[in-house]
């Protein structure tokens, strides 16, 4: 872009203004090159650099033991963390739900009248959903405010791990596959027609659902039932039971007889061992990841639980 300036130069005798004057002055047009460049909006937008925040990987995970919890000692199969930091455990053969205070002491218990397999707390409604395992065909909904069973849904089959998203319950139907219950009308439909491992958990993160197959491999599907990958880890993980997912899609799985917890990358291509017998694990079963506070709760079947802080 050029700069244009105009100036006026007087003649020597312009003040006389004689009638015979043929010339009053000279207009000088001075054109010089400027250093301003016009850029089209489209070209400028293409040059904008957007900073990319790296997503933490499984190699970035660091666990710090925050608390060892004695809790119930009898056949712990399910666990979850409440928003206020309290912990809930389900004891399969005692038909009991135990709520533990943040200091590790017992707050209260709820007798369900049925076997209590796995649990999941729905924060929006303050309801606890409880599966009943292989001996009953019901999923119970407990109002934690009044500590009473509000609804029993007969799903017609065994039921184990359970999770909730957008008004729907997803549950492990054992040999019958993976199912979903619509809480608006309590209708039930099959999501994935493959047998799942008894006593194992499931986990929902974003629009993804993770589960454990009967051959003890780990799979991931979308919420419409499309399976994306299947990962066998028998060399590192024996008898997987608990499964949970953190804020970055990293998948944590407990090994009941390998006495460990491993973490799997979101794409299923990498894994590593996080916890082992040296960390006090003896037949670990349920896992729960608190995504608001970045905490991982790991519970042994009969010998206490461990609450860990998780850093990226």
Band (pLDDT 50/70/90 cuts) for residue 25 is: low
Classify 277 as helix, strand or coil: helix
CA–centroid distance for 74 within its chain: 29
Confidence of residue 171 (pLDDT cuts 50, 70, 90): very high
The domain locations on the chain are: 59-311
**pLDDT > 70? residue 110:** yes
- CA contacts within 13 A on the Cβ side of 2: 7
Give yes or no for residue 41 having a pLDDT over 80. no
CATH number listed for the domain at residues 59-311: 2.120.10.30
pLDDT of 121? 98
Instruction: Tell whether the model's pLDDT for residue 145 goes beyond 90.
Output: yes
pTM of the predicted model as reported, rounded to 2 decimal places: 0.83
For the stretch 232-250, pLDDT in tens is 988 889 999 999 999 999 9
Strand order through the sheet with 305-311: 62-69, 305-311, 295-300, 284-290
Q: What is the pLDDT of residue 55?
A: 85
Inform me whether the pLDDT recorded for 95 exceeds 80: yes
Q: If you average pLDDT over residues 110-131, what whole number do you get?
A: 96
Whole-angstrom Cα distance, residue 113 to residue 83?
Answer: 26
- Give residue 10's pLDDT band: very low, low, confident or very high (50, 70, 90): low
User: Whats the size of the chain, residue-wise?
Assistant: 312
pLDDT at 5 over 70: no
Percent of the chain's residues with pLDDT above 70? 83
């Amino acid at each position: 872009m050029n700069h244009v300036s105009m100036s006026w130069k007087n003649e020597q005798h312009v003040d006389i203004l004689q009638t015979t004057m043929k010339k009053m002055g000279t207009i000088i047009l001075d054109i010089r090159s400027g250093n301003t460049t016009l850029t089209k909006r489209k070209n400028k937008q293409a040059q904008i650099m957007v900073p990319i925040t790296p997503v933490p990987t499984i190699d970035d995970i660091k666990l710090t033991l925050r608390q060892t919890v004695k809790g119930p000692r009898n056949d712990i199969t399910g666990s979850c963390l409440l928003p206020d930091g309290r912990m809930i455990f389900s004891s399969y053969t005692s038909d009991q739900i135990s709520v533990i205070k943040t200091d590790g002491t017992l707050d209260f218990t709820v007798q369900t009248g049925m076997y209590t397999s796995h649990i999941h707390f729905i924060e929006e409604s303050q309801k606890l959903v409880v599966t009943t395992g292989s001996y009953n065909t019901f999923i119970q909904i407990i109002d934690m405010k009044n500590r009473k069973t509000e609804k029993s849904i007969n799903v017609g089959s065994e039921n184990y791990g359970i999770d909730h998203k957008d008004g729907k319950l997803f549950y492990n139907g054992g040999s019958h596959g993976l199912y979903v219950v619509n809480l608006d009308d309590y209708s039930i439909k099959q999501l994935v027609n493959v047998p799942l491992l008894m006593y194992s958990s499931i986990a929902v993160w974003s629009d993804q659902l993770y589960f454990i197959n009967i051959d003890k491999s780990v799979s991931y599907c979308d919420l419409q039932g499309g399976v994306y990958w299947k990962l066998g880890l028998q060399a590192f993980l024996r008898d997987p039971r608990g499964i949970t997912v953190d804020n970055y899609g990293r998948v944590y799985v407990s090994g009941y007889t390998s006495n460990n917890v491993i973490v799997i990358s979101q794409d299923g291509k990498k894994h590593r061992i996080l916890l082992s017998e040296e960390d006090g694990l003896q037949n670990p079963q349920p896992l729960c990841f608190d995504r608001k506070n970045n905490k991982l709760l790991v519970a042994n079947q009969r010998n206490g639980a461990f609450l860990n802080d998780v850093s990226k």
